[in-house]
Amino acid sequence: MTNTELQHLVEQLSLTVFKRPFKHQATFNARLRTTGGRYQLESHNIDINPKMLTDFDEAILIGVIKHELCHYHLHLAGRGYRHRDRAFKQLLAHVGGSRYAPTPKTGAAARPAKYVYQCQDCGQTYPRKRRLDTKRYTCGRCHGPIKLM
């Protein structure tokens, strides 16, 4: 899918689901890593993570687009557009948009833990992507010493 196809899809969803036109620009943004999409308050443009299309099916992409369109239409209407606002939650539930984007299957978020630490007293394990100083940190459950496995 190209940016022009994405633009047409966003315009079509805006008209059919929200009954309002989308007058700004929607593009794929490969710099988005941990989020499905982003609504820009200043320019009113929408950026979509291309991994929502490559790693998942089109239903996930449409859910993310509906989520960003909720931000878009509520902000332009002067209503509560933030995630915590009641108007946003109600509109998102009404249109069937996704509340959270799934974690991408590729990239830094999908990499398995390189290091596994274990508590010497209770046996609690702690998978980590980065090394941590075992002299500085203790077990969160029993405060016992931890060791790299």
Question: At 115, is the secondary structure helix, strand, or coil?
Answer: strand
The closest of 117, 119, 125 to 139, measured between CA atoms, is 119
In the structure encoding, which two tokens stand for residue 113, read together?
């833990």
Assess contact for 117 and 132: CB atoms under 8 A. yes
CB atoms within 10 A of CB 120: 14
Set 5, 11, 58, 68: catalytic member: 68
68 carries an active-site annotation? yes
Assess contact for 126 and 110: CB atoms under 8 A. no
Assess contact for 16 and 22: CB atoms under 8 A. no
Count Cβ atoms within 10 A of the Cβ of residue 18 and give its class: 0-12 exposed, 13-18 middle, 19 or more buried.
middle
Q: What residues are labeled active site?
A: 68
